[in-house]
A and B are shown apart, each in its own frame.
Chain A
């Protein structure tokens, strides 16, 4: 996909270069003493028709009173270093991560959701990164923190933070998603906000050390087939990860979005397992044990396993399936009247890059391809946009992603038929935003989360 984009850009650049060259020759530019310059195009060459261009503003009422200068224009603002660590404008105070207090009995084993409806592009600011703790957030002194690699290795090793930062580094943008993202919606719709339906995830740039480098440093023995990362927090989080997955593209991150990890995200170090369940991205990482079998620990048996309609359960569901959601317009907004809208959203896949995103406005009957407005990266959010002329009638907005492995995101009835509604995890089917008819009384233009 990216290759195609680059190719396209390259062609365009060539074309425009040729065009300007033709214009140059046609314009009969003077060549004097080896200095090249072009003549300004004459007014008659301009195709832009200003009267026609502003036609949609015809019949709109003009503002006639003179605007008052705002305070900001008549007084000095604050000086440097008022905030040695900058904060968002107070007018953005509603943009925050949120939780539902009835989800969990306490705040130490709980979750918050990122405000996806207020995010732009593909990077989540560190302060808005979703949180998920199993035993609260420890405040760890990095000077005292150690990482140990042991078990079925030739040479057990212990690393300080300085040791880790001395290794070759890698910086990559990846999404991190709790497998319970969307869990509220298994048995029907619940809440009218994309923060509640899809907010258990974020996408940031991580910097760290390749896990394969560290594991090879200790020398995995041939009988070592699994790694068991473990956290230094109260939950002592532990999961079993097969060696192929660990050696593929995992890394031990010490930074997110250019600064040290936040405590909520695992300061001083966390494991990054691109494309996989966030539960495997063990935070406060202090120990990696190499073992011959999976541990069958609580977080891969009692939890993070998916109960099927027949009472059996699926386990070791590592990869997050391709998924997408429209963040504007979403139930957090209200339509502004019939007319043109640029429908925006994010798409992502735990198995690689996003290939296509299609948008339907008629409940899945017909689809049109959206275009990407961000870079298309491996196992990262991709921003899409779709130009839509809303006629003011009731509409059912859906987005559908196809990833580079050929997987096409399914509709909800199909997923429910196969996996039931007791599954809890990996609810990655499409969601539907119902746009109410503009002339539907006080509901006119309301955007509602509904489910098929």
Chain B
């Protein structure tokens, strides 16, 4: 599921390491790595013997080895749950093509793990102080509006409205900022654009992310709309779960998210008279286009040496050793620097290299 990702990162990592051989330091530890599987099983000892420097490139090499398949050069190793540097754990829920991947704090972050163990798992003596007041879960119903990526917390399937009715609610409360068809307005986020997520030129504006091309879970799209919208009066009683489901249905329809596939493999889409409820929403949770394209944080993937003198060209200036090949802010004809002119003239949506905050 990470094929493209792997290739890109491996290429990148190889490039990074190619330029670093100039500076060389010895691993300070005398602990011998025990490579009894893919990774050194005594990684904790290795890290501790090196004063906790778990991101030092030599420490990482001692733990992960040098091999092309599971060493530093092969970053796919990071996506293996057994790797002590991995942020990934097994998918826990059937939420679609990638499930609800549970990222974690890597085991190699020994300081975090030790501290958490001390404060929690190994704290056998803790006794509550009794300063708070017990409250019944039922008393929290009004506050508990949380829906998870798996759909836990959604309203009962008797609640809902047709997609067409949902469209009417959307036009009344959402369209003035997001456009009647989700195209965006007044600088607010578009909800239904189908841009490619890969910009061909790095200088091009970043691709616009919206529901169809980016959001991984329909269940939490509903959570977000009910939680925060309409912007000036969020979580409105007069819209209610019924109205919020209707709005969600209309946005899903505008993004052509299927509700399933027929016998010929043709996608089945929302009709105007489809009664949109939690059940339909959860069918679509499996067909969110971008769901499989997320992966857990794997930084830092950059492991440089602390070079002090005559550093290799790859680390100097523009990466070829040229310190005069730099980029300046673009200039207006009168010579003053040009800062986001399209944004300032309201010709482009606002944003920090992407749209919407």
Contact = CB atoms under 8 A, between A and B. Distances in A.
Interface string B9-24: 1001101100000000
A95 interface: no
Interface stretch (B53-61, B247-255, B259-267, B270-278): B53-61
Contacts of B149: 293-296
Interface in B90-139: 92-93, 95, 100, 102-105, 109, 111-113, 115-116, 119-120, 123, 126, 128-129, 131-137
B140 A148 contact: yes
A415 interface: yes
A367 B307 contact: yes
A302 B187 contact: no
Given A238-B227, A405-B53, A363 B317 contact: yes
Interface string A274-315: 000000000000110101111111100110010111111111
Nearest to A102: B343
Contacts of B53: 404-406
B148 A307 contact: no
A269 to B, nearest CB: 14
A83 to B, nearest CB: 35
A422 B199 CA distance: 8
A418 B115 contact: no
B320 to A, nearest CB: 9
A313 B144 CA distance: 29
Contacts of B148: 291, 293-296
A164 B140 CA distance: 19
B119 A156 contact: no
A220 B326 CA distance: 53
B214 A135 contact: no
A235 B235 CA distance: 10
A245 B206 CA distance: 32
A129 to B, nearest CB: 18
A390 interface: no
A339 B186 CA distance: 51
A245 B328 CA distance: 40
Interface string B195-208: 01111001100110
Given A135-B231, A295-B149, A244 B105 contact: yes
A307 to B, nearest CB: 6
A396 interface: yes
Contacts of B352: 103, 180, 183-184, 424
A298 B224 contact: yes
B319 A298 contact: no
Interface stretch (A10-18, A71-79, A104-112, A254-262): A104-112
B353 A234 contact: no
Contacts of B135: 148, 150, 156-158
A167 interface: yes
Given A188-B327, A293-B149, A297-B220, A418 B301 contact: yes
Contacts of A238: 146, 227
B298 interface: yes
Interface string B289-315: 010011111111111111111110011
Contact of A190 (B9, B123, B325, B340): B340
Interface in A224-273: 225, 228, 230, 234-236, 238, 242-245, 247-249
A402 interface: yes
B332 interface: no
B204 to A, nearest CB: 8
B67 interface: no
Contact of A212 (B120, B207, B323): B120
Interface residues of B, number: 127
Contact of B308 (A309, A367, A434): A367
Contacts of A362: 323
A327 interface: no
Contacts of A417: 12, 15-16, 319
Contacts of B50: 406
B298 to A, nearest CB: 7
Instruction: Find the residue from A363, A403, A421, A424 having the highest chain B CB count within 10 A.
Output: A363
Contact of A236 (B16, B199, B228): B228
Contact of B4 (A156, A311, A434): A311
Instruction: Find the residue from B144, B296, B329, B340 having the highest chain A CB count within 10 A.
Output: B329
A130 interface: no
B29 to A, nearest CB: 12
A287 B330 CA distance: 47
A316 B87 contact: yes
B150 interface: yes
Interface residues of A, number: 125
Contacts of B105: 242, 244-245, 318
B357 A158 contact: no
A388 interface: no
Contacts of A363: 316-317, 323
Interface string A202-232: 0000000010100111111000010010100
A244 B113 contact: yes
B357 A111 contact: yes
B45 interface: no
Given A296-B100, A301-B294, A421 B206 contact: yes
Contacts of B318: 413, 452
A135 B228 contact: yes
Interface string B207-229: 10100001111011101100110
Contacts of B103: 242, 294, 315-316
Contacts of B199: 421-422
A316 B207 contact: no
A64 interface: no
A163 B128 CA distance: 13
A452 B319 contact: yes
B132 to A, nearest CB: 4
Given A421-B353, A422-B207, A156 B137 contact: yes
B230 to A, nearest CB: 10
A452 B323 CA distance: 8
Contact of A187 (B54, B55, B203): B203
A298 B137 CA distance: 25
A309 B12 CA distance: 11
A5 to B, nearest CB: 16
A309 B198 contact: yes
A134 B189 CA distance: 14
B350 interface: yes
26 contacts: A155-B134, A158-B132, A183-B354, A187-B353, A189-B327, A189-B328, A216-B128, A244-B112, A249-B115, A293-B150, A294-B102, A295-B148, A298-B220, A302-B209, A312-B295, A313-B214, A313-B290, A366-B310, A367-B308, A404-B53, A406-B55, A408-B303, A411-B319, A422-B199, A422-B354, A452-B326
Given A148-B140, A187-B206, A452-B323, 4 more contacts: A186-B353, A235-B227, A351-B55, A421-B202
Query: Which 5 A-B residue pairings sit nearest by Cβ, starting from the closest?
Result: A406-B56, A363-B323, A296-B149, A105-B187, A406-B53
